[in-house]
Amino acid sequence: MTVVVVESPAKAKTINKYLGKDFTVLASFGHVRDLPAKDGSVRPDEDFAMEWEIDSRSAPKVKAIADALKDHDTLILATDPDREGEAISWHLLEALTKRRALKDKTVKRVAFNAITKSAVQDALANPRDVDMELVDAYLARRALDYLVGFTLSPVLWRKLPGARSAGRVQSVALRLITEREGEIERFTPQEYWSIEADVRADGSDLFRARLSQFDGKKITRLSIGDEQTARAAEAAVKSADFTVAAVEAKPTKRNPPAPFTTSTLQQEASRKLGFDAQRTMRVAQRLYEGIDIGGETTGLITYMRTDGVSMDGSAIHQARKAIGERYGEEYVPDVPRAYSSKAKNAQEAHEAIRPTSFLRHPSSLRLEADQARLYELIWKRAVASQMESARLERTTIDLEADGGKLALRATGSVVTFDGFFALYREGLDDDADEDGEARLPAVKQGASAKAAQTFTEQHFTQPPPRYTEATLVKKMEELGIGRPSTYASVLSVLRDRDYVRMEDKRFVPEDKGRVVIAFLENFFTRYVEYDFTADLEDQLDKVSAGEMPYKELLRRFWEHFSANVEGIADLRVGQVIDAMNIALAPLIFPAREDGKDARLCPSCNVGTLSLRLGKHGAFVGCSNYPDCRFTRPLGGNGEGQSVIEGDGEIGAHPEHGQMIYLKDGRFGPYLEMKLEGEDKPRRSSLPKGWAPASINLEKAVMLIDLPRQVGPHPDDGEMIEAGLGRYGPFVKHGKTYANLPSIDEVFEIGINRAVTLIEDKKANGGRGRASAEPLKELGEHPDGGPIQVMAGRYGPYVKWAKINATLPKDVTPEAVTLEQAVELINAKAGSAKGKRKAPAKKKTAAAKKPAATKTAASKAKAGSK
């Protein structure tokens, strides 16, 4: 009899069907132990001893496994086939050994790259020991992250009030985002002009050509920088008699991209599907764990955390067969394609992400919308990787006049064989033109040509674009920063800490994030350098390869890091601010239009502007405070005042003429305005996500004037209002309230949508539409029955049977996984049982006496020390 331990209940349920009655399959629900979030969990002075703790949610899982082993003689650890999976197996061994549950038991480690019956059976036939080199790499990484977080974060809290914490990889990712923002702010647009013409050569069809030579000089994109030169070139092209000087047709090939890795899947899902990294990994997890096909749950893709780009030989054979059947033998290359990763620090121990069977065409499966779209993307990419190259013919026509001093060039391409284009194009819609170039007409060298029409346009160079998730992930991978499997959580942490925000699906650094990075760059330069972080990854790879003891890595790191921390321990906040004023000068002290000193206070013309640090974040303030209360957000233009410690004057209400103040109350920052004739001042809390330093007069007026009248209800004429209340934004009609998804809707919602929300709320007995319809279906509970994500009055929660468990604040409805939901539900169920216990009987005097004796003995012992 054998106990098999996997990570998730969904996987346990599937594998249990494959293995039969002689096996008991249990789920660990991920890691069962972790470092306690306190000082001393990693002790450098004790050769980096690490203190592990089983949390309350994991303890019942470990006990269940230990209990099961009483009646079984073999334990098989079948956690995921990556470093984290290896670490989970090690933690389980350690925890079970402490419980003495492994005495006289056989322990094996297996790993399967796909959850299919054949893959599971093959893995069980080839067991191995826990790979301690991978475990050592995990221990080193976990210790590094702990030491940085618990050593550097307190320094941040002391020196930068309002800052939260600094992670090893998150800080470097944040630096990339803030550096790009700095490039955008420093960017100066450059004017340039383009000259093109529609040309006809000896009666041919018109074709578009661009200026390539003017006045004997080669023309590049930025060569013509003013209108006068552009118009002169345009006139020359219009009047010139051109001759076709050369016609060149050159065949080219495009090879298909490799199958997906974790990183490239996240990038392509972002570009083609609009998924963020977390959403991609969540959907991929479901595809890996499988769906029901013919009464049997089967994994649809191989493991989705991998840096490898190779595919199993049998999978390649199956893909080539599918290509021949669907597209014809001419689409199957003579030799199977082989790929190797170009990514820095790539770990190629596992296959690329591919379908477990290429015979399962996306159209043959009934999947949820997100699953269907991601599976189709994975299937197409994997199949295309084994298809024949696309063949194109690229044609160039050169036209000359005035002895070669004036020239035009036309380029075009045509696909002569579509190859893998028939199925997939990276970064493009599958029906898009590859280059957007037109087919050129057939012309002969020496033919005469004339411009039929010219097109002269002014352009300006554009700043580099902000990072999307796809481009940031690609950049991090290129630099060797972090591991692709952790990118989703790294980027999520930056958003959760309010260091960045998303605008049009691009990262924009918040002022708080820019201040933190400026601090780290000034005082912990080495630890946010890209090369240093990448070198740490190289060393971690050496640990996993058995080429370096993990404690040697930790000693090298700690020696310099701890000395750096000690070196700034006595640094005064004033010194930090002086350094920040210099580092952030382009942001916080923009040039003034009147040419005066950018740091001279525009309000009192006496004080000096400087960065100021408050508990709600950083802002710019006048040194002449409290006589001068001028403040503004970082990056402000000096026109709108903002918050300062104490009561900040935002400005006078344009209609009432009364001052609006930003204050700090028991429940956080709020706005206040006192009107004559009203007993109580008007007040409004700041909505979630609105930082105090961002509040200007326009925003303050919008909030202080709430509730807003949307319009009369068509049934009774009673006014519908939109406002911000204790439970968030809402619309109200009479005594009926309906929640709104965001504060923006309070100011934008129209009468039609407001009426719909109100009526939906009434139709559901006052409980609201969200309570009747789940936000998300997560799947089946291990004990049966669906688990759903619901929206409630006090926030989102997960529901199973009669148990409702509120989601933690750091978990969004979109991000919650089935495993997390089961844990929350089980914890809530256990808590409910505890509450229903009968109250303990009161102790008698006799019962109390030994306790008192014990207390006295304890005191006596303490006093003797």
Please state, in angstroms and as integers, the Cα–Cα distance from residue 10 to each residue in 84, 289, 353, 367, following that order.
18, 7, 20, 16
**C-alpha–C-alpha distance, residues 643 and 631, integer Å:** 6
DSSP-H helix ranges across 6-124: 9-19, 59-69, 83-98, 117-124
Looking at residue 441, the DSSP 8-state letter turns out to be P
Residue 342 CB-density burial (10 A; 0-12 exposed, 13-18 middle, 19+ buried): exposed
Query: Measured at the alpha carbon of residue 413, what is the angle toward residues 412 and 419, in degrees to the nearest 5?
Result: 170
- Contact present, 847 and 824 (Cβ < 8 Å): no
Amino acid at 69: L
Q: Say how far apart CA 114 and CA 124 lie, in whole Å.
A: 13
Please identify which of the residues 138, 192, 288, 303 carries the catalytic annotation.
303
Q: Which two tokens stand for residue 721?
A: 């209002």
Tokens, residue 765: 């007995």
Cα R_g (the chain), whole angstroms: 33
Find residue 43's DSSP bridge partners.
49
Distance CA 829, CA 849 (A): 36
Helices 530-544 and 168-186: crossing angle in degrees, nearest 10, is: 150
| Sign of the torsion angle spanned by Cα atoms 493, 498, 504, 508 | negative
Distances in Å between the Cα of 150 and the Cα atoms of 153, 470, 508, 666, 742 are 6, 30, 27, 29, 35
3-class DSSP state for residue 803?
strand
CA distance 777 to 786: 7
User: C-alpha dihedral over 815, 819, 825, 829, to 10 degrees?
Assistant: -160
Active site residue 303: yes
Amino acid at the residue 284 = A
DSSP 517: H
Determine the Cα–Cα distance for residues 303 and 311; give it in Å rounded to an integer. 12
| Close Cβ partners of 567 (under 8 Å, ≥ 6 residues apart) | none
Q: Taking a C-beta distance cutoff of 8 angstroms, is the pair 550, 90 a contact?
A: no
- Angle between the 530-544 and 469-479 helix axes, to the nearest 10 degrees? 70
Contacts of residues 230-235 at CB distance under 8 Å and 24 or more positions apart, as own/partner, are: 230/193, 230/195, 230/456, 230/458, 231/456, 233/195, 233/456, 234/195, 234/454, 234/456
Q: Please identify every residue annotated as catalytic.
A: 303
